Amino acid sequence: MKEAGGDSLTIFEEYKNWIGNTSDEVIFEVEKGAIRAFARAIGAGDFPLYTDEAFARRQGYASLVAPPTFPTTFFIPMPGVNVPLSRLIHGEQAFIYERPIVAGDVLRVQRKIVDVVEKKGGRWDMLIAKTEYYGRDLQGNLVYTAKTNVIIH
Amino acid sequence: MELVWGELSVGQEPESLVNPPIDKLQLVKYAAASGDFNLIHLDEETARKNGLDTIIAHGMLSMGFLGHYAARLAGVNGFVRRIQVRFSKMVYIGDTITCRGKITAIDEASRSVVLEIRAENAAGEKVTYGEAEIVLGG
C-alpha cells in the first residue's frame, strides 16, 4: 500500500537521485510591510532598523533592514522531492550574508539539494536532506546563502 | 545590550534577552509573517492528531528570537553576518524563551565576534542552539 508521496521503501530507493536537484529561480521582492510584520511577529517591533525607515536611512541603509531570519519567507519546496509535510522535520538552519537585506531589494533565489545522507538507528531509518538557497541581486551578486537541513522520517 | 568594541573578551556572556511567553496571537502573527501555516502551530486538535500534547511553536520562531538577539548585540551600526542553529527540543505554546550567548572568538582585523548562542525554555533546557558571527560598526 502506497501513501501519497511514496512509502519509505520508495524514498530510500530514490533519494540518491535527488542530489544536485536545483529549483527554478524565484523572484522575491522585499517589502517594508513584510519586514515590519515579521519583526513584530518575533517580538522585535521596537528595533528601529526593522520598523523606522528614516532611522534606518540615517544609519546609512537604503530602507528598512530585514531581521537575520527574514529569508525564511523566501520559501521554495525541495526540488524534485515529493514527500508529505508530516514526514519532514526542520533539523538545522543557517543564514550567511554578504550584506544585509533591505526593503526594496529584488532577489533571485534558487534552492539546491547538495547532499542526502541516511541515518540509521532508533526505531526508524531517516534521511537528512542538506539543501542550500542562494539569493542573488538582479546583477547576479550573491546576497545571502541559507542552509536548510531537513530530516525525512 | 549592544556589544562595545574594545570591551570584549572571549568567554564573556552578554546580557540575555527574555522574550514574553509565546501565546497563540504570536503564533498566528508568525504564521502570517513567515508563510508557514502548518496547523500544528495554530490548532490544538491538529497538534493532538499529530501525536503532540499541545500546540508547538514554529522552530523558526525560536531561531527568529536568536537572530534578533544577535542583531541587538550587533547594534544599529553592526551586522549579523552569519547565524546557524540546530533545533534540539520542541517549543510549546506558553513557553518563555530566553536567548543567551557567549563570546568564543574575536577578530581584530574584521572587527567581528563569534558567539555561541542558545535559546532556553523556563526549565533551562536548550531548545535551539548554535553560533552567530557579528561584525561591529564604528
Residues B69, B74, B77, B78, CA torsion sign:
negative
Three-state DSSP at A122 gives coil
Closest CB to B85 among A37, A59, A93 = A93
Task: Kindly give the pairing relationship between strand A26-29 and strand A88-97.
Answer: unpaired
Mark yes or no for CB contact B76/A44 under 8 Å: no
Looking at the complex, does the CB of residue A142 fall below 8 Å from at least one CB of chain B? no
Buried/exposed A91-118: b ≥16 CB within 10 Å, e otherwise = bbbbbebeebbbbebebebbbbbeebee
pLDDT in tens, A43-74: 999 999 999 999 999 999 999 999 999 999 99
- The predicted model scores a pTM of 0.94
Q: What percent of chain A has pLDDT over 90?
A: 78
The predicted pLDDT at position A57 comes to 98
| Edge-to-edge strand ranges of the sheet holding B17-18 | A26-29, A106-119, A126-136, A142-152, A88-97, B79-87, B126-135, B112-120, B98-107, B17-18
Residue B117, C-alpha cell as written in the block = 548562542
Residue A9 confidence (pLDDT) above 60: no
Closest CB to B72 among A38, A47, A147 = A47
pLDDT in tens, A142-153: 999 999 999 998
Identify all chain B residues contacting A59, using CB atoms and an 8 Å cutoff.
76-77
Residue A39, C-alpha cell as written in the block = 519583526
Mark yes or no for CB contact B60/A69 under 8 Å: yes
Mark yes or no for CB contact B64/A69 under 8 Å: yes
The predicted pLDDT at position A124 comes to 64
Chain A residue at shortest CA distance from B20? A43
The predicted pLDDT at position A3 comes to 42
Looking at the complex, does the CB of residue A91 fall below 8 Å from at least one CB of chain B? yes
Residue A15 confidence class, pLDDT cut points 50, 70, 90: confident
Q: Given 3-state DSSP classes, what are the helix, strand and coil percentages for chain B, each rounded to the nearest 5?
A: 25, 30, 45
Residue B1 confidence (pLDDT) above 90: no
All domains in chain B, ordered by first residue: 17-21+58-135 (3.10.129.10)
Question: How many beta carbons lie within 10 A of that of residue A89, not counting itself?
Answer: 14
Domain formed by A8-30+67-152, architecture: Roll (3.10)
